[in-house]
Structure 1
Amino acid sequence: MLRNHRTTDLGYNRPMSSLDAVLFDYGMVLSAPRNPQIWSELAGLSGMSEAELERVYWMYRDEYDAGILTGEEFWSNVGASAGATYSPDLLSQMNAGDVRLWGDLNEPMVQWVLQLHRAGIRTGILSNMGDRMSEGLASRFDWIGRFHHTVWSHALKMRKPDPAIYAESASGLGVAPARILFIDDKPENTSAAIAFGMQAIVYKDFDSFTAEMESRGFGDLLRIASSGAR
């Protein structure tokens, strides 16, 4: 898959694969699974059992991610489903807890992202995420600001797997779809990326991810990034 060499901003030559950019989902790719202790805390704040919160949390999540609901409206709807009304202060606490819920990082993937940045490889985020979540995560993790382009679904009023959201990511990265690798934990989202013309990998865990990168001929990106970090 190696084609020629390119000089990066770091001043060294690196082989160029058939990819010019890597596009990441956030949840369960850059993040670890949700934190169970914080989930328990959110259930306590909501006045619900964890099982009941599980049901209503996902009931309204698509509308939140699509920008139909703000973070405050999302949690207000969650409360209303249980006959509760939350104060502005409690809504703020629940939004902050939601950020912390998904704030544990998938360290091997985040380290690879940082290496890609150092190597001068274009990167992006394409994530289904509501307004308070994206704001909170961007405030918490300064490395999010180093991506060349980020697409948070709420800002576009659309969600994966809508083809238009992949078009927005490709346009923002300034890279042809065929030269973008998209990584997501949900097969329906990677299938939509492939249909749009991108390369894609379903993320399960870091070991299987690196094995698939090698088998697909993209292993040079792993090695290039490592060499660029030195």
Structure 2
Amino acid sequence: MRTVLFDMFGVVAMDQSPSVRETMVDHSGHASSDFWSAYWAPRQDYDRGDLDGPAYWRAVGERLGSPFTPEQVERLIALDLESWSRVDEDSVALVRSLSDAGVPLGLLSNIPTELAARFEERHRRVLDLFPVLGLSCRIGHAKPEADAFHWCLERLGTSPEEVLFVDDNTANVAAARELGLHGHVFTSVPELRRVLKEGGLTAG
């Protein structure tokens, strides 16, 4: 292994804020289980860029059988962005140490257009650590689709067996392994440091 391809959310950035998740459910007016089932159903299309924010929330409302008002959609978009906007500074420090050591890096993130713009505005210092930036809404492919990985491999200029893919989602890691990449299911920064060391990748 000589290259590391990172996932964003749940690895470099934090998963959704629990408190904001509760606020989203309250604002929707639906039961939590129904809301999250509807939320995730069209998410791949949103992440891929096939839907923008208003269209995505219209799709969510249709699945709930109760369309959201324009005011609700505006608020839900804002809450959704807020829920995904925190970075993990320990992970960022690890990525920076790999970058400083000259390890080729890439990022492959399932991320909709509005959230990508938020990160470009607020977390440019994080995105700039990755010479290859595979944002699903910009590349037209979302994990675990094979084309999302192929897009990154082509721009990294390397073969699959030279790449360690790091993601907290087991399905995405399994998809990467099927394509010949090494895969690590992220659980903590110390555990990832151990895996990197065993793979001969230096992180300060």
* TM-score bin, normalised by smaller chain: 0.7 to 0.9
The residue number in structure 1 matching 2:142 is: 159
Contact 2:57 2:68 survives alignment (8 Å): no
CA distance in 1, matches of 2:45, 2:10: 20
SS at the partner of 2:105? strand
| Aligned-residue offset at 1:25 | 0.6
1:46 aligns with 2:25: no
| Aligned-residue offset at 1:66 | 2.6
Contact 1:48 1:82 survives alignment (8 Å): no
CA deviation digits over 1:106-161, x for unaligned, max 9? 22211111222333332111112222122222222112133101112233333222
Matching residue's letter, 2:99: H
Q: How many residues align?
A: 202
| Aligned-residue offset at 1:59 | 1.8
Match for residue 196 of structure 1 among 179, 185, 192: 179
Contact 1:99 1:137 survives alignment (8 Å): no
Mapping 1:72-221, distance limit 5 Å? 72-80=54-62, 81-87=64-70, 90-142=72-124, 143-214=126-197, 216-218=198-200, 220-221=201-202
| Aligned-residue offset at 1:38 | 0.9
The residue number in structure 2 matching 1:10 is: none
CA distance in 2, matches of 1:49, 1:164: 36
Identity of aligned residues (%): 25
Contact 1:160 1:189 survives alignment (8 Å): yes
Q: TM-score, normalised by structure 2?
A: 0.86
Contact 1:32 1:106 survives alignment (8 Å): yes
Mapping 1:27-42, distance limit 5 Å? 27-42=9-24
SS at the partner of 2:202? helix
Matching residue's letter, 2:192: F
Misfit runs of 4+, over 6 Å? none
SS at the partner of 2:38? helix
The residue number in structure 1 matching 2:50 is: 68
The residue number in structure 2 matching 1:26 is: 8
Give the greater-gyration-radius structure (CA). 1
Specify every segment of 5 or more residues in structure 1 that has no aligned partner in the other structure, as ranges: 1-17
CA distance in 1, matches of 2:158, 2:123: 25
* Alignment root-mean-square deviation, CA: 2.1
CA deviation digits over 1:50-97, x for unaligned, max 9? 33321211122122123222122111222332413321x543432232
Q: TM-score, normalised by structure 1?
A: 0.78
